[in-house]
Amino acid sequence: MKKAIIIGATSRIGKELSERFVANNYKVGITGRRKELLLELKDKNPDAYLTKVIDVTDTASSIQQLEELTIELGGLDLLVISSGIGEINEALDFEIEKQTIDTNIVGFTSIADWTFNYFEKQQSGHLVVISSIGGIRGSCRAPAYNASKAYQINYAEGLRQKAAKLKMPIFITDIRPGLVDTKMAKGEGLFWVMPLEKAVNQMYNAIVRKKKVVYVTKRWRLIAMILKLIPRPIYDRM
């Protein structure tokens, strides 16, 4: 039986992915800050889940808990980083920006580094990063969020390059969702908000196929291409 850990399993995407892995015969370690939500998920299938309360912003504690969870699972084949926050912050409230940085950059990097090093020692493994199409360009409405997702996209690419140089079967999958029907979809006038189940289906299929980069849903690949092509003088006025 393969072993997987979902960092951020108390988010809607993390929860749905956890259930998808269990349905496909994985032993799954689930983590998050909200213990009651972890236990609620575990109660659905007690034999399939192990739980750990992890706050990725507390890097020392989170790594200790991650190591313990891996031992309890009996190993690790796949880890998904689904933890993340994002707030609209046009007023540039630094406390809001700092929370995003601490979670999406500092906490993310701590987990990603530990995981890659574990897989390198094991000489195999699969790290999945849930980034965002928001990482393609900056945003005046959520500067730290978009910047943090750009960081994750580039960090995942760096780890993929490192794995290639090591010539080991260590796979890095960067999943870039557009707008999904979760609490992360904020603001007015949102379009192409995709149903959660459809988004998770595409995410799971991309993970199974060990895709390097995938946009979810597929139509968001077109949006990404357009965003990349918009000249800076025009984008600055948008």
Average pLDDT value for the chain: 92
* Assessment of whether the complete model's pTM goes beyond 0.85: yes
Angle at 153 between CA 152 and CA 154, to 5 degrees: 90
pLDDT at 181 over 60: no
Contact 173, 207 (CB under 8 A): yes
Contact 17, 203 (CB under 8 A): yes
CA–CA dist 17, 214 (Å, integer): 16
Give the chain's domains with CATH numbers: 2-235 (3.40.50.720)
Give the pLDDT of residue 186. Answer: 45
Give the pLDDT of residue 219. Answer: 82
